[in-house]
């Protein structure tokens, strides 16, 4: 691994709530142990804004987690 490479963690989730300023509350798909997935805040990636891809409540999305925690970036709408 070189110095310039970053490890990007992608996760899937379901949109629970649409918030102002292109923010979304996403419930992560639970792991195999069962139980509820946790809620995180996510924002739209630039390409999704550029191409005006709409994300609605109930949509399955793919996200890249921020390595420092906090938020995630939505990079793909799955359904």
Write the pLDDT tens digit of every residue in 43-79.
999 899 999 999 999 999 999 998 887 799 999 999 7
Q: In terms of DSSP H, where are the helices of 23-69?
A: 46-50
- Is 46 domain-assigned? yes
pTM, to two decimals: 0.82
Overall number of domains in the chain: 1
The boundaries of the domain holding residue 31 are 10-77
Q: Render the burial of 54-72: b for 16+ CB within 10 Å, e for the rest.
A: ebeeebebebbbeeeeeeb
- Is 61 domain-assigned? yes
Tokens of 32: 């195999």
Q: What average pLDDT is seen over the chain?
A: 87
- Is 21 domain-assigned? yes
- Is 4 domain-assigned? no
For the domain that residue 69 is a member of, what is the CATH number? 2.40.50.140
- Is 5 domain-assigned? no
- Is 47 domain-assigned? yes
């Amino acid at each position: 691994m070189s110095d310039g490479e970053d490890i990007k963690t992608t996760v899937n989730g379901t949109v629970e709530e649409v918030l102002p300023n292109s923010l979304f509350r996403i419930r992560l798909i639970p792991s195999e142990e069962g139980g509820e997935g946790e809620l995180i805040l996510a924002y739209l990636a630039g390409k999704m804004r550029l191409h005006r891809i709409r994300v609605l409540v109930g949509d399955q999305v793919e996200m890249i987690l921020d390595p420092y925690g906090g938020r995630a970036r939505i990079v793909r709408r799955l359904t």
